[in-house]
Copies of this chain bind each other. A is one copy, B any other.
């Protein structure tokens, strides 16, 4: 994925022009994005009888039919409700097929086409003369690093891979003795450890948050954006099962886990965190360790962090808090609605104690993902009634999709490790 550069270079303010999406593979002319935010999908399938566009929330809530021209090209032009990253695919006579013109991203448990749709304001505004680079794209100046790290997990019996972001300056001699706090940041169901680095744009979000980069005219007028502390961000694969089901490694978080994720808490606490603390210059204590995640990763964050407050002091859920209330693990009786007095072993029951231990409890969602947004509001209200300090954020108009989670991370990161 390239990052907006060619749109910025080539766009004339206000012009209704169209360019290949940044998520296209080289020399693919389609999909194309317009300066007004529309997008044209096109695929050459001369033998097909019916082709539909399908994809995630914010792009197409229901299948969108494409129409065929005399040369066998099927196309549709539409105005997505939400800018940013969207998963999509074509339904070709009943068969799901990726778009050969786009890169793929890991979602829905498989490789899935993705498109990055630029904010219409960002490419067409003629009010602003600053470079219009979103917070999830690279800015000029220093950058952190994103690296993959493999480790052998005895608990699962497999080699596992995580990605680790180190902040700008981490490798500089001037910072060679500095130690950094760590955010553990998880993907959603059907995704994997590549999600935050690719469709999430984690490196650029963190770079810009740490350096206070902003292309917003309003932020500029306000004197800049709040800066995040330099931190390490670790993104692992949330799927993990015990090599030995009667394992002595079992973790208290596993009672809250989806099938296929039972061992993730054990892996994180017993293998991942020690590996990270021995491989990077971390501040290896609870005051400098946070966990957050989106959707399923938010549920995992609640399960793992709340059962290990000796390890975590900052907790965030992005479109994920609602999992506290529903979707119990099969085989375990349906859990009652979230109750701050009893849920998670009663960890919220002593509000004063909780508030003194947990420096940040943060819940975000998009207003267009109704169930998630409502359950977040409801759970936040319950927590506040019980005296728990919790911050909430509702991203206007975004749904259960990466634009919500990018926005959540961008709001959440500057609040971390500020105590």
Contact = CB atoms under 8 A, between A and B. Distances in A.
Given A97-B95, A152-B138, A145 B147 contact: yes
A258 to B, nearest CB: 13
A27 B192 CA distance: 13
B9 A157 contact: yes
Nearest to A160: B2
B152 A140 contact: yes
Interface residues of A, number: 51
A226 B95 CA distance: 50
Interface in A316-374: none
Interface string A185-204: 00000001000010000010
Interface stretch (A61-69, A103-111, A375-383, A407-415): A103-111
A149 interface: yes
A5 B157 contact: yes
Shortest 6 CB-CB contacts between residues of A and residues of B: A147-B147, A104-B111, A145-B147, A25-B110, A5-B158, A104-B104
Interface in A116-152: 138, 140, 143, 145-150, 152
Given A47-B93, A98-B111, 16 more contacts: A5-B157, A6-B157, A25-B106, A25-B110, A26-B260, A27-B109, A97-B97, A98-B98, A100-B110, A101-B110, A145-B147, A146-B147, A148-B197, A148-B203, A150-B203, A176-B176
Nearest to A157: B9
Given A27-B109, A47-B94, A100-B110, A159 B138 contact: yes
Contacts of A192: 26
A96 B100 contact: yes
A310 interface: no
Contacts of A26: 109, 192, 239, 260
5 contacts: A5-B157, A9-B157, A26-B239, A148-B203, A150-B203
A189 to B, nearest CB: 11
A418 interface: no
A145 B152 CA distance: 15
Q: How many identical chains are in the complex? A: 2
Contact of A25 (B45, B101, B111, B140): B111
Interface string A146-172: 111110100001110000000000010
A332 to B, nearest CB: 21
Interface string A371-413: 0000000000000000000000000000000000000000000
A104 B194 CA distance: 13
Contacts of A95: 45, 47-48, 92, 97
A26 B197 CA distance: 19
A3 interface: yes
A171 B279 contact: yes
A3 B159 contact: yes
Contacts of A239: 26
Contacts of A2: 158-159
A6 to B, nearest CB: 7
A92 B47 CA distance: 10
A164 to B, nearest CB: 8
Contacts of A150: 138, 143, 203
Query: Which of A94, A159, A171, A192: most chain B Cβ within 10 A?
Result: A159
B109 A111 contact: no
Contacts of A109: 25-27
A96 to B, nearest CB: 7
B148 A146 contact: yes
Contacts of A46: 94
Interface in A1-53: 2-3, 5-6, 9, 25-28, 45-48
